[in-house]
A and B are shown apart, each in its own frame.
Chain A
Amino acid sequence: MFYILPTFRKSFLSDMLVFCNDTHICPVGSFWNQDKGRDVRSLHTSKKIVILGAGRRGLGLAKHLIEEHKDVVIIDNSHERVATAVAKLDCLGILGNGTDIDKLIEAGCENAEAFIAVTNSDEINLVSCGIVSSTFKKTKTVAAIRSLVYTGVDGLKEGLLGIDYIVNPNAEAARYIFNTIEQGVYSNVLGFSNTDLLLYNFYVEPFSPYIGTSVMDMRNKLKADFVIAAINRGHKALVPSGSTSIEPKDTLSIVADSEEVTDILKTVGKLQKKPTKIVLVGASRITRALLNRMTIAMRSKVTVVDQDEAVCNDFSERFPEVLVIKADITDEDIMQEEQLGSYDLLIALTDNDELNIITASYAKRIGISRSMALIRQNNNYTRLASYLDIDVVISITDTTVESLLRYLRGTNIESLHSLYNGQLEIFEFSINGTCAVLGKKLSEINMRKKAIVAGLTGKSGKSVIPTGNSTLHEGDTVIVAAMRESAEFIQKLFG
């Protein structure tokens, strides 16, 4: 067993993520990869992936994998779901039970690179992965399991039923939320594993003095060393050139070191401080996983509101430093009585999507500076949320899918983040001896205007903001922002 991201413990930043009002979220973290010595990269040669469960997670995952030119086979026991999957996606659908070995053979598990069980039932996921990993030794198995809340995946170092990777949807969502809080909810800092450069996303306010100026001019005016790696305009992401001009309501992704960024943020966008006084609505498993991630000092400024007495008692026992309130959040009195308006951040984590959206939106009306809402079922609410002034929407499906994709993609890429609904990916490559671009100047590399090298860290660990004259040496680490459609080309170029 080894860490795919070996520096996770060393650099917390590698676990950071990114978010803007309408951007897509992608946490990047580390996980135990029980790889049994198989070459993870061979995924790119063998193309078949079997997905069990055509629910939201299954379909979301399939969609991404198909975009990456994989052959996807979906198994589900509901005729309707299989039909929907086949109609919406370019994949093969098989109607049947995931614990039925004949169906697994029919789906071609034997030659598949991976078998991913993402049904809503832990038991089915476990059993089917158990069958696959013991019958088809070469097939990698991945299962979504919720019941690992107490120990977490890391708690099971010996593995479970030979399953290669276990994703816990609740823990993934909690990790995402935690990292978002750590980043101040908007300021959206993204860290990398081998370089101390950071990627900041921020929103250009309508009256910013830089509106209309080109990227080049802005850089000259600010006299700061940074690269604008990407711009999100409306709902479309683009990789800017020097002449691209800045427009209001753009979201800029800037790579710089932390000292430079403070200056930039002051003049261009809003500078946010980290929220400390937090109210969590709904005492769910995600809430618990989130509180587990926090330190005692952080928890002592957290309030949890839930209407179930037994759950409240349990939370109060488990987290004595947290203030637990037994009340209905829709009750106007509770907002006044507990002065919820004075909090920095409200996170709505109940089981009810609509309630989460409404609560998070209402929170802004009563004066809470920022709010987040969890979406379990209906991903469409993500769009709606930005109109309701909700700062961050967490989709439990998306965070799970991202975690699975990270596992499946595992290459020599040190860390990978996707931005703006997956339109754009940020890679961190280490340049090895056989790399195609080794020894070249950046200006000599043809990236077809679909990518930009945003940062460069030498072997010694010294980071620079690259110019056209920077040369790539062996052992360097580069940060590259690339559009999704050219991701594979960029990976070949640097990988």
Chain B
Amino acid sequence: MINWKQDFRLLAFIQLVLGFFMLFPTLMAVYLKEEAALQGFLAAYGAMAIFCAVVFYLTRKIENHTLASRDGYLFVTFTWIIATTISAIPLVVSGSYVNYSSAFFEIMSGFTTTGATVLPEIESLPKSILFWRSETNWLGGMGIVVLFVALLPALGVSGTLLVGAESVGPTKDKLTPKIKTTAAILWSIYLLFSLLETVLLKLGGLSLYDAITVTFSTMAAAGFCVKNSSIGSFSSAYVDIVVTVFMMIAGANFALYFKAFSGRIKSVWKDGELRVYLGIWTTVSLLSAITLNYNNNYGSFWQSLRFSAFQSASIITTTGFATANYVNWPAFSQMLLLLLFFVGGCAGSAGGGVKVIRVATLLKMAKANISQRIHPKGIFRVRVGQNTMRPELLLSISTFFGIYIATGILGSVVISLSGADMLTSFAASFLCLGNIGIGFGSVGPTGNFAAFPSSIKWVCSFLMLVGRLELFTVYALFTKTFWKR
């Protein structure tokens, strides 16, 4: 059965971790004398304190059980919901957001690294609120639960379970024998790259505040920006290149960096998923650049490449930054970007979407299936790079893809109830599900979700959560089996 008490006790601990990270924007609000924002943060701390007090009181007599896999699903899903619920408070209380639905949408968009916003005008908001908004990106990128496992005393086997339910990709790599060390390594790598990017952006002439907030969103493959016109507002080729590179870094499997740092460079280079990932990005960037150049959108090929590479990286890693209003690009270039909607980052990365490994596996499955028809008695195993995919994994991958597409299409149907046009409904649904953040139509690179009614914002929030936790973790909670046996 479900260990309710234990799960909620852990949830309360997570709030403490979150509370620690909320200290930064709070202190910022104090320093910048942003009173409304400060009130908001204090309200959030209040809510957090009440939640923790109630939970600790109710769970004061607790027996230690090892968590079962259903505890993992329950705990992770609730972590994300409760963290978002509390973190959204400052946004409403400070008066920056019109209602709680918008604030919840915004923070869910932050934690799930979607980067979609309900605000048409960003720059007028208090800096501390914007900072917090970007920080939720960064926390969600590597995973709140992963961070929790890395920071708190050893959870043992349970830790593996929790990280497994949160991290992305069809297979979960453990880098070291202990899950706590693995989680700590992942976060250290994440932190290291973040520091590096901040320094590089600072060197590019950005203010420290801009550099940090852009880094938060880049490394998480998230896409919030403190500027109205995203990265485009810096209009600097240097910044574009740095951000492009770090988006690509964020979209690759972090386990590979660990391998590279521990001297196994060769095995990194042989990684099938990485090759496909870089291959897709290069191909799309080049094809798009050629089209843009032919259409003479940017004057020169190199300018075209700068914009196409940035935009391709932004979509494939599901970041959702924009340097160009690609809605005005030739249809072919736009279709290429649409294609990337269904690829996403690598397994074990900060990116969302279907994941390169799944797409590659599906293509290999198609190939194996065709071969099987030609040689009915042949044995065809599906291999991606150096790894053979086990049959149960293939089943799980094809199921994932099926449910993913079904969820996205159902989502668009529901969103269309708001009166949005077909393209907008479709794009909104898939950009939320894939945690991308920008799409086409009125949710394109210059658009936002402001026009949608509250109910649709909740639907979108749900899609983002489902997409970030890769369907099964959340959907498991909706099955009879989960609650009965």
Residues of A within 8 A of B (CB): 309, 312-313, 315-317, 320, 323-327, 334, 337-338
Contact = CB atoms under 8 A, between A and B. Distances in A.
20 contacts: A309-B379, A312-B379, A313-B379, A313-B381, A315-B379, A316-B380, A316-B381, A320-B381, A320-B388, A324-B379, A324-B380, A325-B377, A325-B378, A326-B378, A326-B379, A327-B377, A334-B377, A337-B376, A337-B377, A338-B377
Interface string B351-395: 000000000000000000000000111111101000010000000
A276 to B, nearest CB: 19
Nearest to B364: A320
Contact of B377 (A315, A317, A326): A326
A225 to B, nearest CB: 49
Closest 6 CB pairs of A and B: A317-B388, A312-B379, A324-B379, A316-B381, A316-B379, A327-B377
Nearest to A333: B377
A108 to B, nearest CB: 51
Contacts, number: 33
A312 B381 CA distance: 10
A338 B381 CA distance: 19
A338 B375 contact: yes
A309 B388 CA distance: 16
Interface in B235-287: none
A169 B377 CA distance: 31
Nearest to B381: A316
Contacts of A316: 379-381
Nearest to A304: B379
B296 to A, nearest CB: 45
B397 to A, nearest CB: 17
Contacts of B376: 337
Nearest to A321: B383
Contacts of A334: 377
A324 B372 CA distance: 11
Residue from A315, A325, A334 having most chain B Cβ neighbours under 10 A:
A325
A334 B375 CA distance: 10
A334 B376 CA distance: 10
Interface of B: 375-381, 383, 388
Contacts of A324: 378-380
B383 A320 contact: yes
Residue from B376, B379, B380 having most chain A Cβ neighbours under 10 A:
B379
Contacts of B378: 323-326
Contacts of A337: 375-377
Nearest to B386: A320
Contacts of A323: 375, 378
Contacts of B381: 313, 316-317, 320
A334 B378 CA distance: 10
B388 to A, nearest CB: 4
A315 to B, nearest CB: 8
A338 B378 CA distance: 9
A327 B383 CA distance: 22
B104 to A, nearest CB: 47
A317 B383 contact: yes
Contacts of A312: 379
Residue from A313, A320, A326, A334 having most chain B Cβ neighbours under 10 A:
A320
Contacts of B375: 323, 325, 337-338
B58 to A, nearest CB: 51
Nearest to A324: B379
Contacts of B377: 325-327, 334, 337-338
Given A313-B381, A326-B378, 4 more contacts: A316-B379, A316-B381, A326-B377, A327-B377
B285 to A, nearest CB: 29
Contacts of B383: 317, 320
Residue from A312, A316, A338 having most chain B Cβ neighbours under 10 A:
A316
A326 B375 CA distance: 10
A315 B379 CA distance: 9
Contacts of A315: 379
A79 B375 CA distance: 52
Nearest to A338: B375
Residue from B375, B377, B383, B388 having most chain A Cβ neighbours under 10 A:
B377
A325 B383 CA distance: 17
A331 to B, nearest CB: 9
A15 B376 CA distance: 39
Contacts of B379: 309, 312-313, 315-316, 324-326
Nearest to B388: A317
A337 B376 CA distance: 9
A156 to B, nearest CB: 22
B365 to A, nearest CB: 14
Contacts of A313: 379, 381
Nearest to A317: B388
A313 B381 CA distance: 7
A316 B376 CA distance: 15
Nearest to B376: A337
A326 B377 CA distance: 5
A340 to B, nearest CB: 12
B385 to A, nearest CB: 11
A64 B378 CA distance: 44
A210 to B, nearest CB: 46
B172 to A, nearest CB: 21
Nearest to A328: B377
A466 to B, nearest CB: 50
A309 B391 CA distance: 14
Contacts of A327: 377
B396 to A, nearest CB: 18
Contacts of A338: 375, 377
A324 B368 CA distance: 12
Nearest to A334: B377
A82 B380 CA distance: 49
Nearest to B378: A325
Contacts of A317: 381, 383, 388
A327 B377 CA distance: 7
A337 B380 CA distance: 17
Nearest to B380: A316
A271 to B, nearest CB: 33
A309 B381 CA distance: 12
A323 B388 CA distance: 15
B390 to A, nearest CB: 10
A325 B378 CA distance: 4
Nearest to A323: B378
A32 B147 CA distance: 52
A313 B380 CA distance: 8
Contacts of A325: 375, 377-379
Nearest to A320: B383
Contacts of A309: 379
B54 to A, nearest CB: 53
Contacts of B380: 316, 324
A338 to B, nearest CB: 7
A161 B420 CA distance: 77
A326 B379 CA distance: 6
B226 to A, nearest CB: 48
Nearest to A305: B377
A199 to B, nearest CB: 40
A322 to B, nearest CB: 10
A316 B379 CA distance: 7
A313 B383 CA distance: 12
A347 B336 CA distance: 49
A21 to B, nearest CB: 33
B4 to A, nearest CB: 43
A44 B380 CA distance: 54
A326 to B, nearest CB: 5
A4 B21 CA distance: 68
A324 B388 CA distance: 15
A325 B377 CA distance: 5
A441 B20 CA distance: 96
A312 B380 CA distance: 9
Nearest to B383: A320
A326 B376 CA distance: 9
B271 to A, nearest CB: 16
A289 B377 CA distance: 24
